[in-house]
Amino acid sequence: MQNRTEFARARRVIVKIGSALLTSSGRGLDLPAISDWVGQIAGLRHKKIEIVLVSSGSVAEGMCRLGWKTRPRALHQLQAAAAVGQMGLIQAYESLFQRHNLHTAQILLTHDDLSDRQRYLNARSTLLTLLELGVVPVINENDTVANEEIRFGDNDTLAALVANLLEADLLIILTDQKGLFERDPTLDPTANFVHQASINDSRLGEMVGESRSGLGRGGMITKLRAARLASRSGTATVIASGREHDVMARIMAGENVGTFLVPDVSPMLARKRWLAGQLKLKGALHLDEGAARVLKEDGKSLLPIGVTAVYGDFHRGDLVACVDAGGNEIARGLVNYSADETRIIMRRPSSQIESLLGYVDEPELIHRDNLVLA
């Protein structure tokens, strides 16, 4: 998306809400504010826009429930606070969304879930199913099992990774500040507000060079990094104040609210580039003439019936090469079944997958969205 008028066409949106907003700067869950954001999300959902909510706030809410005045340093205490706070957070969302006749689903992820290819595809399948069912997934980092200290801004990165996972049209990061300024407005009241910029604009790096910034102390860098991560799958990002009246609907209507960071490539081009250059091949599939032609000329998915031989020991979600009868690599993509499973279902129609394996995950061996031509 290259301009705000295109937001009206967005069908899948990731909304991230930060701790400072959710907990009134650490004083416990701000239920009236959360109720307002839930109402805004419900309004978008009733317009058939798929919404995934990435929510911070579990540690801050846990501290409040436990009566802790100072954020602990010890990892096990942070994890305990997250575990306690997550209960209050999800209770609030569930009860408030129920008022709008919407179901929610709690999804706790770690970065490992999105870096391991099999878990990545499992998470994607679950989230897509929930969206098809009209459910609003509420995602948080699984802080209670994190193997490194919980850092401010992690959920900004998580929101961007979810945008990549689901190929979202738009990422909305709601914070307690108006958006991005060229300089810290608390130090320089004349600092210009950045309404729009290319995510690859070199000046953005200069704007986040100091620890204090236009997005609040410590938050600027993580939000900019998140926008850059999101842009690799073509997702546009808007950073805006969650305290703006009806902020989500106004953003979606194309109003000049917050800072719009424009991705530099289209969603498909970015995804194909990522598939082609970032992963190592784990195996190969030899195709018959018809399957090779369909992939090269029609850009369709690869079905099991078109595979004549399987090489390598790969797992679901691994990157494999697609090779024609002459031994030439014509494409590569993320496979939906392991090597052993593929050997069982190759040369068979997709309708037989369940009877052959005992289950069916996807009818395609490689979906066209996960395939790039060589």
Same domain, 254 and 171: yes
Residues 205 and 59 placed together within one structural domain of the fold = yes
- What gap in Å lies between CA 257 and CA 254, rounded to an integer? 8
Q: Which two tokens stand for residue 223?
A: 């939000």
Domain containing 313 equals: 279-373
DSSP 148-187: S---TTHHHHHHHHHHHHHT-SEEEEEESSSS-BSS-TTT
Contact 284, 312 (CB under 8 A): yes
Q: Residue 360: which H helix or E strand, with range?
A: none
Q: What CATH number does the domain containing 93 carry?
A: 3.40.1160.10
Q: Which two tokens stand for residue 229?
A: 């991560």
Amino acid at site 345: I
Task: Note whether 265 and 305 are same-domain residues.
Answer: no
Residues 251 and 187 in one domain: yes
pLDDT (tens digit per residue) in 247-259: 999 999 999 999 9
How many Cβ atoms sit within 10 Å of the Cβ of residue 48?
A: 8
Task: Examine the domain organization and report whether 205 and 119 are in the same domain.
Answer: yes
Which of 271, 292, 307 marks a domain boundary?
271
Q: Are residues 145 and 164 in the same domain?
A: yes
157 touches 226 (CB < 8 A) = yes
Do residue 254 and residue 338 come from a single domain?
Answer: no
Average pLDDT over residues 198-226: 67
Check whether residue 266 and residue 283 sit in a common domain.
no
Number of domains present in the structure of the chain: 2
In contact, 311 and 283? CB cutoff 8 Å: yes
12 and 147 in a single domain? The answer is: yes
248, 271, 294 — which closes off a domain? 271
The closest alpha carbon to 150, from 53, 81, 208, 64, belongs to: 81
At 19-41, the pLDDT tens digits run 888 887 667 899 999 999 999 99
- Gap between the Cα atoms of 279 and 275, Å rounded: 6
pLDDT of residue 215: 36
> Does one domain contain both 245 and 283?
no
Burial of 75 (0-12, 13-18, 19+ CB in 10 A): middle
**CATH code of the domain containing 314:** 2.30.130.10
Question: Which among 218, 250, 271 is the end of a domain?
Answer: 271
pLDDT tens, residue by residue, 49-101? 999 999 988 888 889 899 998 888 888 898 898 899 999 999 999 999 999 99
- Which comes out higher in pLDDT, residue 347 or 147? 347
For residues 96 and 244, state if they share a domain.
yes
Mark whether 254 and 291 lie in a shared domain: no
Phi, then psi, of 289 in degrees rounded to 5? -60, -40
- Specify the residue for token string 């070199």: 202
At residue 266, the pLDDT reads 65
What is the DSSP pairing of strand 281-287 with strand 307-312? antiparallel
